[in-house]
Copies of this chain bind each other. A is one copy, B any other.
């Protein structure tokens, strides 16, 4: 008995559910969960099913391929621990939250390494017997520094996701393209408000009554990638920007961890710079 997550996206047309469910039925598979969504505006169809039964990956993939339109994207995924690399700078809360969840067995992931441009977080990471690689940006051009990071990442095989747990350096298009759809970032505002540096200071200056955090995939345009998850908290006039920062950390870590969980469970489709999440 094998279990598979089946993710399909396609131009919409009649009969897609019928065709997929026919494959499941004729192969005698159990449907453990099944979600569909049609984006009418763009005529796009999305489907995620979890099935189990007596079938192997290749047969299931082939059976789906045969019935679905050639334009359909089909993923058949065997549930297993994904490999992640975390990048951080100096802040401890988002990284710490992931480490604790990992320790608790909550995350279906292997943390291959933590890479930082400082050594500040080393003592924390080492407690958890996870490799910590400090790659200082000091004295390097941005591209040079990133190249060293890429080389470091290349030491690891099958990296599924790179999690930016408050990595505070801007990434170049080259870096981002290298790991397209694999980089998850936490931005400390409810995007698209307060793009860029020090969003809490911006929020304080604007006098908002709500602050938030946004987890998103990183694409070429800073802070403009597909949003995975957002959350907010209420603030008031007694909050200076450092108070906002302090309170905001609790939102940041929760939002990042939720987004990571969704990614690890293969629940996210990216389309038109947005996400469909089942």
Residues of A within 8 A of B (CB): 14-15, 17-18, 21-22, 24-25, 28-41, 92-93, 96-97, 99-101, 103-104, 106, 124, 127-128, 190-194, 206-210, 212, 226-232, 234, 236-238, 240, 246, 249-250, 254, 257-258, 272-277
Contacts and interface: CB of A to CB of B under 8 A. Distances in A.
Contacts of A250: 254, 257-258
7 tightest A-B CB contacts, nearest first: A207-B274, A96-B100, A18-B25, A127-B127, A193-B193, A18-B21, A92-B104
Contacts of A128: 127
A246 B258 CA distance: 11
Contacts of A194: 192
Given A190-B190, A210-B230, A210-B232, A34 B14 contact: no
Contact of A237 (B17, B104, B231, B275): B275
A100 to B, nearest CB: 4
A96 to B, nearest CB: 4
Contacts of A41: 240
A28 B254 CA distance: 44
Contact of A103 (B17, B92, B103): B92
Contacts of A31: 14, 17, 36, 38
- Number of copies of this chain in the oligomer? 4
Given A210-B230, A226-B207, A274 B104 contact: no
Contact of A212 (B92, B210, B231): B210
B229 A232 contact: no
A172 to B, nearest CB: 23
A35 B238 CA distance: 12
Contacts of A39: 237
Contacts of A101: 93
A230 B210 CA distance: 7
A41 B241 CA distance: 11
A10 B55 CA distance: 27
A232 B209 CA distance: 11
A93 B253 CA distance: 13
Contacts of A22: 18, 21-22
Given A21-B17, A93-B100, A100-B93, A37 B230 contact: no
A104 B88 CA distance: 14
B93 A238 contact: no
A191 B212 contact: no
Nearest to A209: B230
A128 to B, nearest CB: 7
A199 B40 CA distance: 21
Nearest to A251: B254
